[in-house]
Amino acid sequence: MKGKELLLTPGPVQVPWSVALAGARPFPHHRSQDFNELLRSIDHKLKQVFRTEGTILYFAASGTGAMEACMVNLMRPGEQAIVVAGGKFGERWDELAQAFGIEAHVLAVPWGEAVRPEELAELLAQHPQARTVFTALFETSTATAYDIEALAQVCRTAGALLVVDAISGLGAIPLETDAWGVDVVVGASHKALQTPPGLSFVALSSERAWQQVERAGMASYYWDFRRAKEKLFFTPYTPAVSLLVQLNESLIGLLAEGLECIRARYERYARATRAAAQALGLEVFSHRPGAVCTALQMPPNVDATQVVELLRERYGIWVAGGQQQLKGQIIRIAHVGDITPQELIGTLGVLELVLRELGYSCRLGAGVAQALTVLEDAGPTPATASDGGK
Ligand SMILES: *Cc1c(COP(=O)(O)O)cnc(C)c1O
């Protein structure tokens, strides 16, 4: 590694020192009582994050693995489904459906906009055979939050099952799985849960979801939800034990800080970033931004890819660029993870330097001043979960 680097990408994120160090500790054998107790304790805490009393299944895979697991456990080849696609991750649901011979009716949402619940209701009415809806809580590629409470209402009215990819949103923006009647929720370790990548989760909160698993049961061995449920606190195969140890450490920190407090911090960072953008004459890309990350449209003659590269190469700061048609157009600055206010302000400050270097004229300090004003108005920012390695 080339010296000090900052990770302000929407996955993976900066993990607190205590979480990083937990990965170095000797770990329990996965058939031991200690492991069983560890997983029970994680489960107890993770249910508070997922906001469900349902069943959470654990997989040694990145988020996409758990998405695929949902597709193969809930659907059968030839069946119909509805997929909300307003960005790269919504499109991934469509690609998964295609891979398994499922006929997906795509609700194409313009990138940067949120899906409108009425449109989902219409599509469900047009396709009475399609009774499973796949969507995201936060479409990370466009930095857009969807109104899952309203979508869940539409699904309930239509008698459809709702599957939500909350991989980036879980722990960062509100999601009331049980109270809103969301049937299935997918999460992963390496975003707002502040753990290294490699773990993913599927929460099944309703009886309906399990009935659909029983009925569908596509041929899959490793991903079989029924087998995973039978071996709930042991997992049927070797789990990613050291990542689970780290997740446990992270959840302890997150719950001690308080989920509402954490969300307020992310929200404050998002507001500060938007205020800085406005002062610099930059547009916020999304029409319905959320606290996971903020996408900023770069000025017409500035290549966003170069902004990302200069931030990384000159300053060791990792932000994300745009994907697919947004490549070269936007940069995405993450707010989740173990990020201090000084790291955010520093990033916004050197962003000004980089923009000027690339020929964009803005007054030095203009963005930072507005961001600082937001932070000051919000009152003293509480310390993050990080213990600085102590
Ligand atoms: C990160 C992310 C994923 C999955 O990514 P993996 O690289 O497989 O972990 C899926 N959906 C959303 C919304 C994401 O942000």
pLDDT confidence of residue 2: 63
Flag whether 227 is in a domain. yes
- Give the model confidence (pLDDT) of 132-163 as tens digits: 999 999 999 999 999 999 999 999 999 999 99
Angle, in degrees to the nearest 10, between helices 304-315 and 341-357: 120
Q: How far apart are CA 349 and CA 361, in angstroms?
A: 14
Å from CA of 161 to ligand 1 middle: 21
To test ligand 1's pocket by mutation, which of 64, 139, 186, 193 has the most ligand atoms within 8 angstroms of CB? Answer: 64
Flag whether 383 is in a domain. no
Cβ neighbours for 39, distance < 8 A, ≥ 6 positions apart: 58, 233, 234, 235, 239, 244
Pairing state of beta strands 184-188 and 161-165?
Answer: parallel
pLDDT confidence of residue 235: 86
Which of 255-259, 299-303, 365-369, 379-383 is least confident? 379-383
Ligand 1 site, residue 170, Cβ cutoff 6 A: no
Which of 76-90, 204-218, 295-309 is least confident? 204-218
Closest CA to 89 of 132, 145, 47: 145
- Atom in ligand 1 nearest the alpha carbon of residue 11: 1
> Quick check: 1 pLDDT over 70?
no
To test ligand 1's pocket by mutation, which of 62, 167, 195 has the most ligand atoms within 8 angstroms of CB? Answer: 167
Three-class SS state of 294 = strand
- Atom in ligand 1 nearest the alpha carbon of residue 136: 13
Give yes or no for a contact between 206 and 185, defined as CB atoms under 8 angstroms apart: no
To test ligand 1's pocket by mutation, which of 92, 165, 336 has the most ligand atoms within 8 angstroms of CB? Answer: 165
Same domain, 223 and 353: no
Q: Please tell me what DSSP assigns to residue 323.
A: -
Ligand 1 site, residue 62, Cβ cutoff 6 A: yes
- Give the model confidence (pLDDT) of 306-339 as tens digits: 999 999 999 999 999 999 999 999 999 999 999 9
Segment 109-135 mean pLDDT? 98
Partners of residue 6 on adjacent β-strands: 317
Which amino acid is it at 166?
A
Three-class SS state of 236 = coil
Partners of residue 138 on adjacent β-strands: 145
> Quick check: 47 pLDDT over 60?
yes
pLDDT confidence of residue 390: 36
Same domain, 236 and 264: no
Q: How far apart are CA 46 and CA 51, in angstroms?
A: 8
Percent of the chain with pLDDT over 90: 93
pLDDT confidence of residue 60: 96
> Quick check: 387 pLDDT over 70?
no
Ligand 1 site, residue 235, Cβ cutoff 6 A: no
Flag whether 364 is in a domain. yes
Report the CATH number that the domain containing residue 361 is assigned in CATH: 3.90.1150.10
Q: How far apart are CA 364 and CA 351, in angstroms?
A: 10
Give yes or no for a contact between 47 and 72, defined as CB atoms under 8 angstroms apart: no
Flag whether 123 is in a domain. yes
Flag whether 186 is in a domain. yes
> What is the chain's mean pLDDT, rounded?
95
pLDDT confidence of residue 219: 74
Segment 171-188 mean pLDDT? 98
- Give the model confidence (pLDDT) of 26-39 as tens digits: 999 999 999 999 99
- Total domain count, the chain: 2
Same domain, 102 and 215: yes
Å from CA of 187 to ligand 1 middle: 9
Sheet containing strand 320-321, edge to edge, reads 283-284, 293-297, 330-334, 320-321
Alpha carbon distances (Å) from 376 to 270, 290, 292, 372: 14, 21, 21, 6
Å from CA of 376 to ligand 1 middle: 33
- Atom in ligand 1 nearest the alpha carbon of residue 62: 9
pLDDT confidence of residue 379: 84
- Give the model confidence (pLDDT) of 214-238 as tens digits: 998 667 899 999 999 999 888 889 9
Largest CA-CA distance found in the chain, in angstroms, rounded: 62
pLDDT confidence of residue 384: 58
Same domain, 212 and 131: yes
Q: Which domain holds residue 174?
A: 17-256
> If pLDDT is split at 50, 70 and 90, which confidence band does 389 have?
very low
Give yes or no for a contact between 76 and 108, defined as CB atoms under 8 angstroms apart: no
Segment 97-114 mean pLDDT? 97
pLDDT confidence of residue 388: 43
Give yes or no for a contact between 16 and 253, defined as CB atoms under 8 angstroms apart: yes
Closest CA to 23 of 241, 295, 221: 241
Same domain, 252 and 283: no
- The last residue of a domain, from among 256, 287, 321: 256
Ligand 1 site, residue 188, Cβ cutoff 6 A: yes
> Quick check: 45 pLDDT over 80?
yes
- Give the model confidence (pLDDT) of 253-310 as tens digits: 999 999 999 999 999 999 999 999 999 999 999 999 999 999 999 999 999 999 999 9
- The last residue of a domain, from among 209, 225, 256: 256
Same domain, 158 and 197: yes
- The last residue of a domain, from among 225, 256, 287: 256
> Quick check: 44 pLDDT over 60?
yes
Report the CATH number that the domain containing residue 89 is assigned in CATH: 3.40.640.10
Partners of residue 289 on adjacent β-strands: 144
Q: What is the pTM (predicted TM-score) of this model?
A: 0.96
pLDDT confidence of residue 216: 87
